[in-house]
Amino acid sequence: METIVSNSSPKRYGITEKKKSDIDLLTSQVTDAQAVVQQQLTVVSSLNQKAIKYQGYLLEAENNRDQSLSNKQLADQVVQNALDLSENSNIAFSKMTVANQNTEGVAKEIADLINKLIYSVEIINKLSNLVIRKKALNPLISDDLITKINAAGTDANNAVALTLIALKSIFSAQTLCLESEAITGLEQKQALTLYLALTGKKSPKEQFSLAGNNSILALLEIANTEAKAAYLEANKANDETTRQLNVANANLNKAQVELKSLQAALAAANAAALAS
């Protein structure tokens, strides 16, 4: 009997090996894609935590900015009160009482205190800005340190606001004294002195300038400017973190889509291999 040799076995063998090779390749690609997805998940998680922190920094900077602006506006009111007091007391000249002298002393002490508080706010704001910039470069810097520095800045700003209110109350008290005193000439001079001390001017008609000016109004103006700058820095850092997070989410979505595609291809290849 003549033996018939079939040529189908080598061909089928070659097809089977090809499918196995394809499956092995797809399996390897799926494994790599899973690793990429896991890596992107880690990046997104880290950036989410960073975003939460920087949103907190931004909120704190916004509060400090608003408080600094409020302090400046309150100082403007106090300065205007001082100028009004000087102008009103110039109408009637009279003698100065001990009560007015004591009030002036307290006002100067509070003004000196405000100077020191504002200086403290400046130092704390600069330190906070420095630490936040360093934190962006070195994540090992303690978050608790930043929190405490921000809290110290807030407390200092609140202290400035309270002392400004106290100073405003003193001017109100001086106004009441002027209404009851017969001699206001000296009072006018004192009010003018306080006005000049608050503004750093040499006369009421002189243009206000920050150059070489260490007055309360100038310091509050500088503090307000620095608080605005700190807010812009915090907002910039927050925006950058948000941008990084958006990019990371996009990369994660892309990696997940690619993984699903490879998994589908692998499932189809396995199904085809079983069918054959």
Two structure tokens written together for 155: 């407390």
Q: Measured between alpha carbons, how far is residue 61 from residues 80, 119, 225, 264 in Å?
A: 28, 18, 12, 49
Query: What pLDDT digit, counting tens, does each position of 206-245 carry?
Result: 888 888 888 989 999 999 999 999 999 999 999 999 999 9
Whether the Cβ atoms of residue 71 and residue 121 lie closer than 8 Å to each other: no
Tell me, what's the pLDDT at 205? 86
Arithmetic mean of pLDDT over the chain: 82
Q: What is the pLDDT of residue 3?
A: 41
Confidence band (pLDDT; 50, 70, 90) for 4?
A: very low
pLDDT at 177 over 70: no
Query: pLDDT digits over 187-198, tens only?
Result: 778 888 888 888
Give, in degrees to the nearest 5, the angle at Cα 42 between 38 and 48.
140
C-alpha 144: how far from chain center: 15
Nearest alpha-carbon partner for 100 in 173, 35, 48, 149? 173
Can you give the pLDDT at residue 244?
Answer: 95
Which pLDDT band holds residue 30 (cuts at 50, 70, 90)? very high
**Cβ–Cβ < 8 Å for 51, 241:** yes
Predicted local confidence at residue 10, as pLDDT: 54
Mean predicted confidence (pLDDT) in 146-154? 77
The pLDDT score that the predictor gives to residue 70 is 94
Higher pLDDT, 78 or 10: 78
Q: Report percent pLDDT > 90 for the chain.
A: 34
For 97, list phi and psi in degrees, rounded to 5.
-100, 165
Tell me the mean pLDDT in the region 38-50: 94
Residue 61 confidence (pLDDT)? 93
Does 47 have pLDDT greater than 90?
Answer: yes
Please list, in sequence order, all residues whose beta carbon lies within 8 angstroms of the beta carbon of residue 99, skipping any fewer than 6 positions away: 177
pLDDT value of residue 179: 61
Q: Looking at the predicted structure, is the pLDDT value of residue 5 above 50?
A: no
